[in-house]
């Protein structure tokens, strides 16, 4: 069995685990530490280092084949730097090299988390057998990654596929990136909750919004519809641009209600004159909450799908 160290860095947590060459986490190897927008640079690194060291402590006699890091964007792929929008203490932070210091002599690969999750969906998730797809995460933020003609596409800086910061027609919600109407600003979990609260809903979390939606609360129903239509418009635009066959959506807020996917598909169907757009299939992720870590492991195990110039 071949194992790699997988690291997933996001706006609320960092996780590390060992991932096998069959796309499974090694039992007992998964460790999580908090991140958060209020964290200092030192606090963020302490969390990353603690999670990585805890996972490395579970490594048995088998050699470590490599390290894969999936990070919230933007990133600088060549330089190994990360600047996650929701972690303002890290701008141009040398995460790849800092983690490499913990595993001397082991190759380390950094990609945007959207690329990693898309690899995981293609490998062991909902996109097996499909070579033109986008993987999406709808959670604290909205991210994405692309596989086209069987290869990941990350662009010259590593940020291709970042659909969360595509501006969506009909929306003008301000975004932390400086734009307005970005998909993340409209349809992420926290932003959808904030919109619902502005309409008079009194809950505070995505979980509470899901319960309210299931109970028939009209504001919750409107909020989920709004988010779903925004996601659908973003997917339709992405499909018009790169001719996707499938989009797999995961992340905590994607589970707010199965109806979310109905709204997504309805928005795409409005492009009825363009069969190459309406052909795109939108499906829930085929992975559990371990998907981002499996994707980070796939950066090593499925390295043949990375562009040769990487």
Same-domain check for residues 224 and 201: yes
Read off the tokens for 8: 């997933």
pLDDT tens for 92-104 read 999 999 999 999 9
Between residues 270 and 252, the one the model is more confident about: 270
- Map residue 235 onto helix, strand or coil: helix
How far, CA to CA in Å, does 135 sit from each of 12, 59, 160?
A: 20, 30, 12
pLDDT in tens, 41-75: 999 999 999 999 999 999 988 899 999 999 998 99
Average of pLDDT values for 225-243? 97
Q: Is residue 155 part of a domain?
A: yes
What's the pLDDT score for residue 1?
A: 80
The answer to whether residue 310 scores a pLDDT higher than 60 is no
Say what the pLDDT of residue 240 is.
97
Same domain (yes/no): 91, 152: no
Residues 105 and 157 in one domain: no
- Judge whether 257 lies within some domain: yes
Shared domain for 147 and 276, answered yes or no, is yes
- pTM for this prediction: 0.91
- Inform me whether the pLDDT recorded for 308 exceeds 90: no
Exposed (0-12), middle (13-18) or buried (19+): which is 245, by Cβ within 10 Å? middle
Query: Would 11 be classed as within a structural domain?
Result: yes
**What are the tens digits of pLDDT across the range 253-271?**
999 999 999 999 999 999 9
Rounded mean pLDDT of the chain? Answer: 95
Between 189-198 and 206-214, two packed helices, what is the crossing angle to 10 degrees?
Answer: 60
pLDDT digits (tens, 9 = 90+) for 144-182: 999 999 999 989 999 999 999 999 999 999 999 999 999
152 and 274 co-located in one domain = yes
152 has which bridge partners? 147
81/192 same-domain check: no
- Pair of tokens at residue 12: 């609320």
Are 58 and 204 part of one and the same domain?
Answer: no
Question: Taking the CA of residue 67 as centre, how many other CA atoms within 13 Å lie in the half-sphere pointing to its CB?
Answer: 26
- Specify the pLDDT at position 86: 87
Number of domains in the chain: 2
Classify residue 217: in a domain, yes or no. yes
* Structure letter (DSSP) for residue 13: E
The pLDDT score that the predictor gives to residue 200 is 97
On whether residue 123 sits in a domain, the answer given is: no
| CATH code, domain with 89 | 3.30.420.40
Q: In this model, does residue 186 exceed pLDDT 70?
A: yes
Instruction: Mark whether 168 and 237 lie in a shared domain.
Output: yes
Asked if residue 274 and residue 147 are part of one domain, the reply reads: yes
Which uninterrupted H or E stretch holds 269? helix 259-269
Q: What angle do CA 271, 273, 277 make, to 5 degrees?
A: 50
Can you spell out the DSSP letters for 45-92? HHHHHHHHHHHHTT--SSPEEEEEEEEPSPEETTTTEE--TT-TT-SS
Residues 278 and 153 in one domain: yes
pLDDT digits (tens, 9 = 90+) for 195-217: 999 999 999 999 999 999 999 99
Give pLDDT, residue 82: 97
Tell me: pLDDT of 309 over 60: no
Structural domain contains residue 137: yes
Confirm whether 124 is domain-assigned.
Answer: no
What's the pLDDT at 18? 98
Whole-number percent of the chain with pLDDT over 70: 99
Same domain, residue pair 194 and 102: no
Q: Find the domain containing 275 and state its range.
A: 129-284
Same domain for 195 and 229, yes or no, is yes
Provide the pairing of β-strand 13-20 with 31-34.
antiparallel
* Of 252, 250, 293, nearest in space to 32 by CA: 293
């Amino acid at each position: 069995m071949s194992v790699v160290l997988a690291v997933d860095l996001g706006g609320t947590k960092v996780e590390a685990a060992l991932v096998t060459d069959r796309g499974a986490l090694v039992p007992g190897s998964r460790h999580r530490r908090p991140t958060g927008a209020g964290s200092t640079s030192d606090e963020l690194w302490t969390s990353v280092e603690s999670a990585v060291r805890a996972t490395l402590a579970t490594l048995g006699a088998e050699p470590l084949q490599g390290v894969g890091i999936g990070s919230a964007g933007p990133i600088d792929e060549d330089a190994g730097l990360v600047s996650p929008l929701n972690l303002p203490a890290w701008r141009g932070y040398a995460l790849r090299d800092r983690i490499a210091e913990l595993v001397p002599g082991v190759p380390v690969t950094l990609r945007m988390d959207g690329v990693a999750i898309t690899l995981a969906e293609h490998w062991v998730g909902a996109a097996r057998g499909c070579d033109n797809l986008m993987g999406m995460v709808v959670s604290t933020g909205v991210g994405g990654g692309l596989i086209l003609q069987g290869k990941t596409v990350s662009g010259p800086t590593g940020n291709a596929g970042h659909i969360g910061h595509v501006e969506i027609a009909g929306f003008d919600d301000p975004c932390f990136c400086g734009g307005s109407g970005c998909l993340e600003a409209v349809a992420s979990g926290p932003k959808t909750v904030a919109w619902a609260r502005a309409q008079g809903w009194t809950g505070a979390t995505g979980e509470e919004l899901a319960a309210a939606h299931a109970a028939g609360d009209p504001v919750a129903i409107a909020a989920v519809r709004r988010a779903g239509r925004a996601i659908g418009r973003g997917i339709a635009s992405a499909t018009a641009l790169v001719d996707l066959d499938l989009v797999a959506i995961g992340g905590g807020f994607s589970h707010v209600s199965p109806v979310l996917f109905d709204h997504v598909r309805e928005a795409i169907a409005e492009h009825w004159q363009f069969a190459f757009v309406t052909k795109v299939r939108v499906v829930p992720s085929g992975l559990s909450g371990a998907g981002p870590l499996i994707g980070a492991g796939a950066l090593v195990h499925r390295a043949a799908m990375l562009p040769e110039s990487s």
